[in-house]
Amino acid sequence: MEYISTRGRAPALDFEGVTLAGLASDGGLYLPREWPRFTEAEITAMAGLPYAELAAKVMAPFVGDSLTQDELLALCRQAYGRFSHDAVTPLVELNERQWLLELFHGPTLAFKDVALQLLGLLFETFLSRRKSSLTIIGATSGDTGSAAIDAVAGREGVEIFMLHPNGRVSDVQRRQMTTVRAPNVHNIAIDGSFDDAQAMVKRMFADQTMTSRFNIGAVNSINWARLMAQVVYYFASALQLGAPNRQVAFSVPTGNFGDVFAGYVAAQMGLPIKQLIVATNINDILHRALSDGDYSAGTVTPTAAPSMDIQVSSNFERLLFDCGGRDGAALAEQMHGFEAKKAMQLTNAQREGAARLFTSARTDPDEMSRSIRWAYDHAGQVLDPHTAIGLHAALASDLDPAVPIVTLATAHPAKFPDAVERATGIRPALPARVGDLFAREEVFAELPGEYEAVREFVSAHAEPSR
């Protein structure tokens, strides 16, 4: 399988290449040159497979020759063996129509683990083969950071620098990052928002004084391998609900558009997805873009669902490319315009292409609390704020009631205990697998929201590349 950049000017790479590269050298994002497609019979044959085996089957066309089928299966077994539920991503019934897909049974309690546990192993495998090393630079609104750090802590050949917006992630999220003691882990709190942190990371990828000294890699969802791993649970849940003979819809709490884009990929591969509901909080750039074509970044308002407090959704570029005729030069111009003005209009082709599968909904803080309450009262389920936003959008859907709607449960409620307690009166307890999180010592650097300060810190602490 060959991968091409959304901006048309970076070299095509194989799977190993895109996994290690992260962002493309022209500032674009990598996508497969074409979508692999399963037949109905092939999808039917996937029903009932254990998660790791299903994962290896679904990902095989994307991995191509970079790993043998046996190697891929072994990595999947290792990655998903660390989950605390045998089904890895269990599906829970709320009522005859509404379902929850629990994606938080990994080591750091959010769906990011599903992809990052595998990505950590892919890095180690490819780097040892090439006898090289990788300096990972990432920005997190909370959950990516902890999941990425858990996935690479102590691994050979990889070093990680993780930026988070100071004071804007939950205590559990911050402690899951800052209490990990491994020489290859560096945490940085910067003044500013997640978008500011992400912009610095993007700038570092384009900074030749850095890229000439360090082999810089990404764990944000700009890394294709993450999206690929997330495609698997769309298959797992739809198969349980009767696919390929029945259509299924998904409601996805969305920030950087990675998780819901994986659903789009699943649909391109032949999974019968009726609709993907992009659920946003009041930071609603995606809702505005999908409902009236207005992709313009406002200022970020902090909410109880911090992983969705985003105004620039990196992966949306992948959809705009795929729906807009895959014209890299035109998209590069459109994105440069957006980067300059923080605003752009979608083209008609992009709007029509997106509307075939996507719809969107915006949920305010009161509606979010009511949704947590609804799940508790009607189904005895305690939801985290992100999941509650997804469920609110699912309950408001005007789809044919015969189509089941699966809401992606993206985080464990104990990651956000205050919001859950306000809505239900119950303070969810942390599962035993996170250990003595609140007793361990935290270590992190605090830096101003300036690119130069971050660059200096990384230069001073990173090992030059092998």
User: Which residues of the chain form contacts with ligand PLP (CB under 6 A)?
Assistant: 110, 112, 143, 221, 253-259, 307-308, 386, 410-411
Distance (Å, rounded) from C-alpha 52 to C-alpha 30? 25
Query: Please, which residue, 46 or 368, has the CB nearer to ligand PLP?
Result: 368
Distance (Å, rounded) from C-alpha 18 to C-alpha 464? 21
Classified as helix, coil or strand, 266 is: helix
**Minimum distance from residue 265 beta carbon to ligand PLP (Å):** 13
**Minimum distance from residue 142 beta carbon to ligand PLP (Å):** 6
**Minimum distance from residue 255 beta carbon to ligand PLP (Å):** 4
Distance (Å, rounded) from C-alpha 53 to C-alpha 59? 10
| DSSP3 helix / strand / coil % (the chain, rounded to 5) | 45, 15, 40
Structure token pair of residue 83:
């989950």
**Minimum distance from residue 143 beta carbon to ligand PLP (Å):** 3
Structure token pair of residue 406:
């699966």
Query: Please, which residue, 217 or 255, has the CB nearer to ligand PLP?
Result: 255
Cα-Cα end-to-end distance for the chain? 27
Query: Please, which residue, 221 or 347, has the CB nearer to ligand PLP?
Result: 221
Distance (Å, rounded) from C-alpha 371 to C-alpha 286? 21
311-330: b or e for each residue (b if 16 or more CB lie within 10 Å)?
A: bbbbbbbbbbbbbbeeebeb
Classified as helix, coil or strand, 208 is: helix
Bridge partners (DSSP) of residue 406 are: 99, 250
CB contact set of 84 (below 8 Å; sequence gap of 6+):
105, 106, 431, 433
**Minimum distance from residue 424 beta carbon to ligand PLP (Å):** 18
- Please, are residues 246 and 272 in contact by the beta-carbon 8 Å criterion? yes
Tokens 């928002």 sit on residue: 193
Residue 258 burial class via C-beta count within 10 angstroms: exposed 0-12, middle 13-18, buried 19 and up: buried
Query: Please, which residue, 369 or 410, has the CB nearer to ligand PLP?
Result: 410
- Which of 112, 341, 342, 415 is catalytic? The answer is 112
Tokens 């992630």 sit on residue: 169
Query: Please, which residue, 133 or 275, has the CB nearer to ligand PLP?
Result: 275
112 is catalytic: yes
Q: What is the largest CA-CA distance in the chain?
A: 58
**Minimum distance from residue 191 beta carbon to ligand PLP (Å):** 22
Kindly provide the residue ranges of all beta strands, DSSP E only, lying in 302-453, ordered along the sequence: 343-345, 358-362, 405-409, 445-447
**Minimum distance from residue 102 beta carbon to ligand PLP (Å):** 12
Query: Please, which residue, 7 or 415, has the CB nearer to ligand PLP?
Result: 415
Query: Please, which residue, 308 or 423, has the CB nearer to ligand PLP?
Result: 308
- Active site residues per annotation: 112
